[in-house]
Chain A
């Protein structure tokens, strides 16, 4: 069974600073995908970034980057130059190698960005 652990219930960061949101995972599958989603107070789930287990380089998407450490089974999200609009819940999720693309989510981290 797959498991995602997000140990930070809440994080605070000042505007323009960088912040790291932690995610560790547990799986016996050699092939898997890791995702980060953002959920603002409106409730919509917004896809941010993806890392494949066989990807050699850490994923980057604009201000988002993923610090992927496969041996440690961690996939931390780094947000650079935080903005007020980054305040939201952030979820780490894992997809197994099956063809149905079901996702297992962590419990999330609430990020608050202050001016």
Chain B
């Protein structure tokens, strides 16, 4: 079965510091991968998606970037964090099957101070 790992689980960073969040997937190959951000009390906003190694599509212009160096690895980065980058970051993978639904990792809670 497919499993998504995300780390770290929680992170507190000062404004202006860099960021690297990692997502790895097990149990599938060549998955479609997604990064979402959830602000406090809000819905999920799609940030990036990737259909293969080195292929990144950005949905929202922002302070963040994404990379996919390996088939089952998806990284979210920033060179300089802003206060508005605080939130809950979720990595997702499309589960190939009847519904092709997305299933999600456990998330990273980021607080920028």
Contacts and interface: CB of A to CB of B under 8 A. Distances in A.
Given A50-B99, A105-B43, A100 B107 contact: no
A15 B107 CA distance: 29
Contacts of B26: none
Interface residues of B, number: 24
Given A100-B49, A101-B32, A108-B43, A43 B109 contact: yes
B113 interface: no
Contacts of A50: 99, 101
Given A44-B107, A45-B104, A102 B44 contact: no
Interface string B69-108: 0000000000000000000101010100001111110110
B49 A102 contact: yes
A93 B103 CA distance: 13
B101 A47 contact: yes
Contacts of B100: 33, 95, 101
A91 B44 CA distance: 9
A47 B93 CA distance: 12
B106 A44 contact: yes
A100 B32 contact: yes
B59 A45 contact: no
B90 A33 contact: no
Contacts of B45: 105
Nearest to B95: A47
A101 B32 CA distance: 8
Contacts of B107: 43-44
A33 B94 CA distance: 14
A1 to B, nearest CB: 12
A69 to B, nearest CB: 20
